[in-house]
Structure 1
Amino acid sequence: MTNNKPPLIALVGPTAVGKTATSLAIARAFGCEIISGDSMQVYRGMDIGTAKLPLAQREGVPHHLIDIRDPAEPFSAADFQTACEEAIRDIHGRGRIPFIVGGTGLYVESVCYGFRFQPSGGDPAFREAMQALAERDGPEALHRKLAAVDPASAAKLHPNDMRRVIRALEIRETTGLPASEQLGEARGDRKESPYNLALIGLHMERARLYERIEERVDAMLAQGLAEEVRGLLEAGLPSSAVSMQALGYKEMAAYIEGRATYAEAADTLKRDTRRFAKRQLSWFRHMQDLIWVDADPEAKNSELLQTIYAIIAGKFGLSLEYIRTQEINGDGGYR
């Protein structure tokens, strides 16, 4: 390694862009252990809707922060950061390279740049008051209120994302500081990573990405997404739980509870997933140090991988011959 900071690789990109398959090849080439950077893969029993890679398909690559919480348990960005940093230390201790893979921008960025979350305590009465305001005047009124006290957070949140808008307002109310500043996002300041960081983003032409999203949703429905959600509800998990607000789960819950037809729920899921992908891309575009790589599905996969290998090898001062050796032996590391 050419940098005295500990190494870290991170791969981000919108849903359905191909992160999972690409990450396995990278992990084998560089002797990595993968850390899921997905906010919902932490939950047990939520497999289909989170596109969780089955154990048998992980090709012997260790994966971390998957299936570590019950769906009724809360799990925040601060919780992720704590658990991820512990996993990174453990992986480094084994002489291997930690590799965060996922699409939850705040989670990944909080680790890559050491955001420091301030304890806020929480204020249930304030949350209830904000919920009542939204019900009376509409979510736009709540979003305008956030824009007045924390414009940076408001710019990143859709008015209809009331849970996160209310949370940002609650942080401002209970700490006196904007949530955006607590995430280490001081205006104009360049964030310094505590790691020798290779940060890579996958993208592709928008129309093709949307086609892949449609295909993914159809595959999830065929695999039994509705039945998975029904099982969670029948086990006592309320549809209002934070975990049930995940894509696929809230839409299928609406169908199961009679608030939408199956066709309506499927169409809503496809629409919401497209919108989610747009928000992901918007977040990633503001991440410093991110190197974009075109994941055009029509191109040769070997070309995509060689591009990424060259980026990582250059960052870590490794030769491509080293990479070829690890691909053959599968026993990479950085000692």
Structure 2
Amino acid sequence: MTKQRVLCVVGPTAVGKSDLAVDICLKYHGEVISADSMQIYRGMDIGTAKLTTAEQRGITHHLLDIVDPTSSYTVATWKDEADKTIKSLGKRHLLPVVCGGTGLYIRAITDDLQFPERPDTLQIRARWYTFLETHGPHALHEQLERVDPLSAKRLHENDVKRVIRALEVAETADKPLSEGYDWSPKTGRYDVLLIGLFMEREALYERVNRRVDRMVDLGLFAEVRKLLEAGVTPEHTALQAIGYKEVVQCLQGECSAEEAIESIKRNTRRFVKRQLSWFRRDPRIEWFERNVDGTFPPGEEDRLWRMIADYLEGKRTMPHE
């Protein structure tokens, strides 16, 4: 039986994934499935760099604005929803274009990862977030080192969401996260083409800095203030995202606005490094360079469209097959 084709556009923050995904959908009759763990939240538009309606250019985007920021949401839930969307698009002969920088979401689709959860997971998660609030990310990471040193080595201490996820697994599963998954690329249920975008590092950092300045100009501080007034607390996962946690600290008097903005830029640059490290481990990704203005160097764009055309016409064999 022929596998459903799914095209994924991946890469670091600010490299231009969303615009390319829309271009692909316009050219090949597709719809976008967001693979961003923060764009799922309603009311978090500026700090997550969601495309505006105009920027979406008439292309339907799925899995945006689907839960409130006070809600818990897991990769398992996202995968279920993404699978349903892919199935629906396939029935309508539309190309699913999964686009985002959340590496685990992408791997959930490409490798058909399974994420069984126990009923007590939410309570455990809440306890670790309380621990984080009291003791900080370094102490949290030390807790992971005690129970799952391999996962601790793989995860940076500031990546608190995944550190807590690994701690949950250590408590609820028979094996720690590092032993429970084989992270080597494997064949999933879909015929996947992985398109990766990258940019010269200093050029990408320049785009990151400009993006943060634009977020501030668009009203990032007001957006965070509105979330706090609506009952979203710093303990909720949503407000631990880069861009939000720093503004919360400013609004709570822990730093100045200028210091918060510089922290956002610095933390985003560090996040970019972690994203690239994650995606570079997957040999299936076909990489394409972009210039700082979003254009492609000579020959890159032609190579990109040829590869996509060959893939959709069934002329290309994937490396893992």
Under a length normalisation based on structure 1, what TM-score does the superposition of the two structures give? Answer: 0.85
Candidates 172, 175, 178, aligned match of 2:173: 175
- 1:109 and 1:287 in contact (8 A); partners too: no
Deviations 1:41-76 (A, max 9, x none): 111110000101111221111110011111111111
- 2:185 and 2:282 in contact (8 A); partners too: no
Candidates 213, 227, 230, aligned match of 1:232: 227
- Pair 1:150–1:225, CA change in 2 (3 A): same
Unaligned runs of 5+ in 2: 316-321
Aligned to 2:313: 317
Aligned to 2:319: none
Give me the whole-angstrom Cα distance separating, in 2, the residues matched to 1:127 and 1:49.
24
Aligned to 2:155: 157
Letter in 1 for 2:85: A
Aligned length: 313
Give me the whole-angstrom Cα distance separating, in 1, the residues matched to 2:170 and 2:140.
13
Give me the whole-angstrom Cα distance separating, in 2, the residues matched to 1:66 and 1:133.
28
- Pair 1:253–1:190, CA change in 2 (3 A): closer
Give me the whole-angstrom Cα distance separating, in 2, the residues matched to 1:220 and 1:126.
30
Letter in 2 for 1:175: A
Whether 1:252 aligns to 2:250 is no
Whether 1:205 aligns to 2:200 is yes
Unaligned runs of 5+ in 1: 320-335
Under a length normalisation based on structure 2, what TM-score does the superposition of the two structures give? Answer: 0.89
- 2:69 and 2:238 in contact (8 A); partners too: yes
**Secondary structure at 1:99 match in 2:** strand
Candidates 3, 6, 9, aligned match of 1:8: 6
- 1:27 and 1:34 in contact (8 A); partners too: yes
Superposition map of 1:249-288 within 5 A: 249-288=244-283
Give me the whole-angstrom Cα distance separating, in 2, the residues matched to 1:16 and 1:93.
32
- 2:124 and 2:168 in contact (8 A); partners too: no
Aligned to 1:122: 121
Letter in 1 for 2:263: T
Q: Which has the higher contact order (CA 8 A, sep 6+)?
A: 1
Letter in 2 for 1:156: R
Give me the whole-angstrom Cα distance separating, in 1, the residues matched to 2:28 and 2:147.
45
Measured after TM superposition, the shift of residue 18 of structure 1 is 1.0
- Pair 1:134–1:142, CA change in 2 (3 A): farther
**Secondary structure at 1:70 match in 2:** coil
**Secondary structure at 1:8 match in 2:** strand
Measured after TM superposition, the shift of residue 123 of structure 1 is 7.0
Aligned to 2:209: 214
